[in-house]
Amino acid sequence: MHTSTPTNRMTRARAVLLAGGAVLAAATLGACSGTPGAAAVVDGHVITAQEVRSATDQLTELGQQFDVPTVLSILIQEPTMTRFAADEGVAVSDEDAAGLLDQVSQSVGIDVGEYSDATLAIARYSLASGNLQDAGDLEALGQQVAERLDALDVEVNPRFGTLGESAAVEGASARPWIVTPRADAP
């Protein structure tokens, strides 16, 4: 015969709360529809954490200061931006992007080897954005780009941030249970 005691009820309640917390954590961490390694999913296309990391690393080597949310934002927006630039008659190619990266590489005197697809995407975005600034009415073009970006179906892995306006990723919120080591720590 089993009798319920206050201690047994507390232990059981604690177990239920822990299990519920584990389910909530799994749901939050799995926000990119069960796509392991995804930083974001845009209209069904997966942007991997590795792509974000490789672009961030290569750009840093080239002396460019892009944080992870900015790199992810550009990778989310780039296909839309380059299609829009092509629609406006100011298309950019992978060769144009590699040329821009080669110029930067030569100016800083660093060879990063073969550019990752994600790094090329960042360069395409930069060129498309620059070309669009010379293409006409900036306000009207900006509004059209914003409308296209707002129409995207975007899921961002919460480890990378949250989705803001015009498909921009805002940095991940601080997690009080994660401790950042201090530089002066032994």
Q: How far is CA 15 from the centre of its chain?
A: 36
Q: Give the span between the Cα atoms of 38 and 45, in whole angstroms.
A: 10
To which residue do tokens 């707002």 refer? 150
Q: What is the pTM of this model?
A: 0.74
| Burial group, residue 171, by CB count within 10 angstroms (0-12, 13-18, 19+) | middle
**Which two structure tokens, joined as six digits, stand for 174?**
């601080």
- pLDDT tens for the 186 residues of the chain, in order: 545 555 544 444 343 333 333 333 333 334 445 578 999 999 999 999 999 999 999 999 999 999 999 999 999 999 999 999 999 999 999 999 999 999 999 999 999 889 999 999 999 999 999 999 988 788 899 899 999 999 999 999 999 999 888 888 987 655 554 455 555 555
**Which two structure tokens, joined as six digits, stand for 52?**
């974000």
